[in-house]
Structure 1
Amino acid sequence: MAKKLVIIDTDCGIDDAQAIMMALAAPDVEVLGITCCFGNTSLENVCQNVLRVLAVCKREEIPVFQGLGGPLVRATELPKDHFGSDGLGDILEDRDPDWREKIQKEHAVNAMIRLALENPNQVSLVAIGPLTNLALAVRLDPGFPDSLKDLFIMGGNMEGKGNVTLCGEFNFVTDPESAHIVLEEFRCPTHIATWEYCCRNKLTWEFFREVLNQDAPAARFMKLLTSKCWAYSQAAMKSKRDVHFGPGFVSYDSYAMAACIDGTVVTKSIECGIHVELQGSVCRGMMALDLTDQLKKSHRVVVMTECDLEKFRKLLANSLQQP
């Protein structure tokens, strides 16, 4: 049976690292390449973070491509405290001075287009950061989305609840124009793991502690990554997630990756038109679901609503058992 071909587009923070490890651990997945964009941290940090994850998993043969370092039309504003200044909790003191030599010379957007064209209608693109690279790809090659098998996105929201603004989710708010372009112009089958979906299908902190204590390099690496941001995560959980969803561990990007690896992980979903709002001081970057078909959109996306938590737990646990 042929392996599922995957491109991962990431702004590699801690949950991105977990999602990448999940893909690397899946026996029927072949990661063709990892494209980097700004988001959780600077583009340079993202590239180094991806290389570090691949090194821990002994998968350094996977090519890594450097993409866009800021949004399409606005100045870059990076978060200051979520995952530390480097995106991985500021625990990696032994940065590789030769990291630039390990990054492919080809630009991430060009690589994304090329890999899809070389494998027409076979590549699943998993986007777990701001959608800037994807938006530029469709601008450079309007036929690019048609060459993909499908697209999986972690981002947006479906109930008007935000985690960085009143109504907006981080990945979409970081570059609303790109999110708007992608949701308007990508006609391939599109699946979205929203912020609310991830939070409503959270895992227990007891499970998280259990998988981190596995005797494997990947688990020890993830335990190190979360060590300095654990207090922040607990505080953020109380100030934001607890208000709407109650306590629990949420590896956001892993939900989109799990859906790509095994579609049966998603047990319920909504299929509808989508609009990303670009105006206003309150709703800019918010994703609106057209449940009554007022927008008359020909392309509908699958918005995940319920998850098989047992299957998701197994995928996450397996990702941290890598030797």
Structure 2
Amino acid sequence: MTALIIDTDPGVDDAFAIALACSSPDVDLLGVTTVFGNVGLAMTTRNALRILALYGREDVPVAAGADRPLVYPHPHRARYVHGEDGLSDRSNLLPERATGVAGTDAVSLLARLLEEAPEPVTIVPIGPLTNIALLLAAHPGARGKIERIVIMGGGIERGNVTAAAEFNIWSDPEAARRVLAEEDVPTVLVPLDLTHRCAVDAAWLDSLAGSGERGRLLVELTATYREFYSRTLGRDGTVVHDAVAMAEAISPGLLATETYAVDVECAHGPARGMTVADRRGAVARELSGVDDGREVAVAVDADLDAVREFLLSRLSS
């Protein structure tokens, strides 16, 4: 059984990731915290509650977190990808949850859940890393209760919101740098280079829609998102970035990783939010005298059909 906490900014692919955790019998979902990102905090929190309601998870505590980055304003949301409400303007298709947000903030809930957990916990941040940076800064003792952090974010060869930067990292580069380059916590980074390769096609989506009411509703939520990705991919399909990271969190080793020293560009300019992965290897870094960034496991490859099958089988259950 994998004990998980999800930090999220739903978002269509976030919805798939939360659904995957809820659909997995080998997951103990301890809590969900929300952050600004794809849309504003009020909407990401509302969406998280509704996705949990779809799966009957009244028991999972939800707490709202950061509504802005650590330092600089967030330039814009991702409504052109996810719709005005974050779920292709179809969030009202989902049920309301009877249980509202917990009477505490996200960082306090994260700290409490970690403290109370009998075993170390996997944290899965699939939005901007503001809440996680604040947790590690304010509660340094929490590190010992974290099994690993599995992050969807970054791009090694490319960006998506800019030529250099992936959206989650770009949304708060200072927070991302704190988590990726400065903290000594076992970390897996699942970048968009790999998540794009795990894109699902129309047949996959049709299979999920035909699996039952929950699957049908998940596919309904992809309308705006699917249109965007169909245009950018050049074929009917979509990229469920966050669900790929969640799959690795649930089934460690599903994705093949390599260890790189990682840093995040925080300067203002065209490279802001860029994830810089030093792929020279430890010996070359040492000999060069330039060895910046701590080492993290970066997902670089996978059996793509196996990943798609893992997602479909769990989400269809």
- Partner of residue 69, structure 1: 67
Contact 1:23–1:31, Cα closer than 8 Å, also in 2:
yes
Q: What's the offset of the Cα at 1:133?
A: 0.3
**Structure 2 residue corresponding to 1:284, chosen from 272, 277, 280:** 272
Q: What's the offset of the Cα at 1:248?
A: 5.1
Q: Does 1:296 align with 2:291?
A: yes
The TM-score with structure 2 as length reference comes to: 0.90
Q: Comparing 146-155 with 199-208, which one deviates more in the overlay?
A: 199-208
- Partner of residue 170, structure 1: 167
Q: Comparing 30-39 with 276-285, which one deviates more in the overlay?
A: 276-285
- Partner of residue 316, structure 1: 311
Q: What's the offset of the Cα at 1:147?
A: 2.3
Partner secondary structure for residue 178 of structure 2: helix
Q: What's the offset of the Cα at 1:92?
A: 2.9
Residues in 2 aligned to 1:158 and 1:94: alpha-carbon distance in whole angstroms: 36
Residues in 1 aligned to 2:70 and 2:123: alpha-carbon distance in whole angstroms: 20
Distance 1:307 1:94, change over 3 A: closer
- Partner of residue 217, structure 1: 213
- Partner of residue 142, structure 1: 140
- Partner of residue 206, structure 1: 203
Residues matched between the structures, number: 309
Supply the RMSD in Å over aligned alpha carbons. Answer: 2.2
Q: What's the offset of the Cα at 1:272?
A: 1.6
**Structure 1 residue corresponding to 2:227, chosen from 221, 226, 231:** 231
Residues in 1 aligned to 2:251 and 2:94: alpha-carbon distance in whole angstroms: 34
Q: Does 1:197 align with 2:155?
A: no
Q: What's the offset of the Cα at 1:136?
A: 0.9
Distance 1:298 1:184, change over 3 A: closer
Q: What's the offset of the Cα at 1:236?
A: 3.3
Structure 1: 5+ residue runs without aligned partners?
239-245
Contact 1:22–1:318, Cα closer than 8 Å, also in 2:
no
Structure 2: 5+ residue runs without aligned partners?
none
**Structure 2 residue corresponding to 1:307, chosen from 286, 289, 302:** 302
- Partner of residue 241, structure 1: none
Q: Comparing 201-210 with 27-36, which one deviates more in the overlay?
A: 201-210
Residues in 2 aligned to 1:203 and 1:212: alpha-carbon distance in whole angstroms: 13
- Partner of residue 133, structure 1: 131
Deviations 1:221-248 (A, max 9, x none): 112212344323322334xxxxxxx885
Matched letter for residue 85 of structure 1: E
Q: What's the offset of the Cα at 1:97?
A: 8.5
Distance 1:120 1:131, change over 3 A: farther
- Partner of residue 111, structure 1: 109
Q: Which aligned runs of 4 or more in structure 1 are off by greater than 4 angstroms?
A: 94-99
**Structure 2 residue corresponding to 1:260, chosen from 222, 227, 249:** 249
Contact 1:4–1:28, Cα closer than 8 Å, also in 2:
yes
Matched letter for residue 235 of structure 1: R
Q: What's the offset of the Cα at 1:98?
A: 8.5
Matched letter for residue 142 of structure 1: P
Q: What's the offset of the Cα at 1:298?
A: 8.0
Kindly, what percent of the aligned residue pairs are identical?
Answer: 33
